[in-house]
Structure 1
Amino acid sequence: MPCRKICGMGSVVNMIRFHYSFFKSVPVILAIGAVILFAIVLGALFFSQRAGDESTDAVAANRLNLRILRLLSSIQDAETGQRGFLLTGDERYLGPFTRSVSTLPSEMAAVSPLLAQLDLPQASIDQLKDLMAKKLSELQRTVDLQRAGDTAGALAVVKSNEGIRQMDEIRDIIGQLQQSGIQNSAVHINALRSTTTWLSTIIAISAALLVVLAGGAMKLIYDHTRQIEQAQNELSHINENLEATVAARTESLQRANSELQTYAYIVSHDLRAPLVNIMGFTEELDRASGVFRSYLSRMDANPADPDAKLAIEAVETDIPEALGFIRSSMRRMDNLINQILVMARAGNRELRRERIKLGDLVEEMLATLRHRLDDNDIAVDMADNLPDVQSDRLALQQIVGNLLDNAIKYMDREKAGRIGIRGWRHGMSVTLEISDNGRGIADGDRERIFELFRRSGRQDRPGDGVGLAHVRALTRRLGGDVRVQSTFGEGTTFQVTVAADLEKMKKEEAGA
Structure 2
Amino acid sequence: MKQRPRFDVISLNFIRQSQPIYRRLLMLLGAAFALMLVTNTGILYMVRQTSAYTEIELKGHQTQIEGWRLISLLTDAETGQRGFMLTARPDYLHVYDNALEQLPGVLERLDGLVADDADLSARLDRIKGLYEHRRSLMIDTVEMTRSGRIGEAVGAIRSGQGKALMDGMRKEVSAMSASIDRRTDAATYAARWAQRMSLILSVVSGVLMVLLGVIGAGLVRRQIHDLLKAQDQLDRINSGLEEEVRVRTADLVRANEEIQRFAYIVSHDLRAPLVNVMGYTSEMEQIAGNVRTLLARLDDEHPGLVDEETRVGVLEDAPEAIGFIRASTSKMDGLIKAILQLSRDGRRDLNPQPLDMEQMLQGLVDAVAHPLSENNGRVVIGALPTITHD
TM-score (norm 2): 0.54
Superposition deviation, residue 80 in structure 1: 1.3
1:236/1:116 CA distance change after superposition, 3 Å: closer
SS in structure 2 of the partner of residue 241 of structure 1? helix
Superposition deviation, residue 214 in structure 1: 3.0
Superposition deviation, residue 116 in structure 1: 5.2
Superposition deviation, residue 190 in structure 1: 2.2
Which runs of structure 2 are paired with 1:458-497 in the superposition (5 Å)?
none
Superposition deviation, residue 11 in structure 1: 11
Deviations 1:23-73 (A, max 9, x none): 331323322332333222222222222222222222122211111111111
SS in structure 2 of the partner of residue 90 of structure 1? coil
Aligned counterpart for 1:21 among listed residues 19, 22, 35: 19
For the Cα contact (< 8 Å) 1:118–1:181, is it kept in 2? Answer: no
- In the alignment, the residues of structure 1 paired with residue 89 and residue 138 of structure 2 have an alpha-carbon distance, to the nearest angstrom, of 16
Which runs of structure 2 are paired with 1:252-331 in the superposition (5 Å)?
none
Q: Where in structure 2 are there 5+ consecutive unaligned residues?
A: 246-390
Superposition deviation, residue 75 in structure 1: 0.7
TM-score (norm 1): 0.42
Partner of 1:50: 49
- In the alignment, the residues of structure 2 paired with residue 148 and residue 101 of structure 1 have an alpha-carbon distance, to the nearest angstrom, of 20
- Please say if 1:37 is aligned against 2:36: yes
Partner of 1:148: 147
Deviations 1:362-396 (A, max 9, x none): xxxxxxxxxxxxxxxxxxxxxxxxxxxxxxxxxxx
Partner of 2:240: 241
Deviations 1:474-501 (A, max 9, x none): xxxxxxxxxxxxxxxxxxxxxxxxxxxx
1:39/1:121 CA distance change after superposition, 3 Å: closer
For the Cα contact (< 8 Å) 1:51–1:196, is it kept in 2? Answer: yes
- Please say if 1:218 is aligned against 2:205: no
Which runs of structure 2 are paired with 1:308-387 in the superposition (5 Å)?
none
State the AA in 1 paired with 2:240: N
State the AA in 2 paired with 1:164: K
1:122/1:17 CA distance change after superposition, 3 Å: closer
For the Cα contact (< 8 Å) 2:21–2:223, is it kept in 1? Answer: no
1:244/1:36 CA distance change after superposition, 3 Å: farther
Which consecutive segments of 4 or more residues in structure 1 shift more than 6 A? Answer: 7-15
Superposition deviation, residue 77 in structure 1: 0.9
Structure richer in strand, relative to its length: 1
SS in structure 2 of the partner of residue 120 of structure 1? helix
State the AA in 1 paired with 2:94: G
1:105/1:34 CA distance change after superposition, 3 Å: closer
For the Cα contact (< 8 Å) 1:8–1:234, is it kept in 2? Answer: no
Which runs of structure 2 are paired with 1:397-476 in the superposition (5 Å)?
none
- In the alignment, the residues of structure 2 paired with residue 183 and residue 117 of structure 1 have an alpha-carbon distance, to the nearest angstrom, of 17
Superposition deviation, residue 143 in structure 1: 1.8
Partner of 2:135: 136
- In the alignment, the residues of structure 1 paired with residue 214 and residue 236 of structure 2 have an alpha-carbon distance, to the nearest angstrom, of 34
Q: Where in structure 1 are there 5+ consecutive unaligned residues?
A: 247-512
For the Cα contact (< 8 Å) 2:57–2:184, is it kept in 1? Answer: yes
SS in structure 1 of the partner of residue 117 of structure 2? coil
For the Cα contact (< 8 Å) 2:134–2:166, is it kept in 1? Answer: yes
State the AA in 2 paired with 1:91: P
- In the alignment, the residues of structure 1 paired with residue 40 and residue 167 of structure 2 have an alpha-carbon distance, to the nearest angstrom, of 54
State the AA in 2 paired with 1:150: R
For the Cα contact (< 8 Å) 2:123–2:172, is it kept in 1? Answer: yes
1:19/1:96 CA distance change after superposition, 3 Å: farther
Partner of 1:63: 62
**Higher relative CO (CA 8 A, sep ≥ 6), structure 1 or 2?**
2
Deviations 1:126-176 (A, max 9, x none): 332221111112222222222233333322222222212221111111111
Partner of 2:226: 227
- In the alignment, the residues of structure 1 paired with residue 238 and residue 81 of structure 2 have an alpha-carbon distance, to the nearest angstrom, of 115
Partner of 1:170: 169
Partner of 2:186: 187
1:12/1:124 CA distance change after superposition, 3 Å: closer
- The CA RMSD over aligned residues, in Å, is 3.3
1:114/1:143 CA distance change after superposition, 3 Å: same
The total of aligned residue pairs comes to 244
- In the alignment, the residues of structure 2 paired with residue 198 and residue 183 of structure 1 have an alpha-carbon distance, to the nearest angstrom, of 22
Structure possessing the higher radius of gyration over alpha carbons: 2
1:132/1:234 CA distance change after superposition, 3 Å: same
State the AA in 1 paired with 2:19: S
- In the alignment, the residues of structure 1 paired with residue 236 and residue 121 of structure 2 have an alpha-carbon distance, to the nearest angstrom, of 95
State the AA in 2 paired with 1:203: S
State the AA in 2 paired with 1:19: Q
Superposition deviation, residue 16 in structure 1: 3.1
For the Cα contact (< 8 Å) 2:18–2:223, is it kept in 1? Answer: no
State the AA in 2 paired with 1:75: L
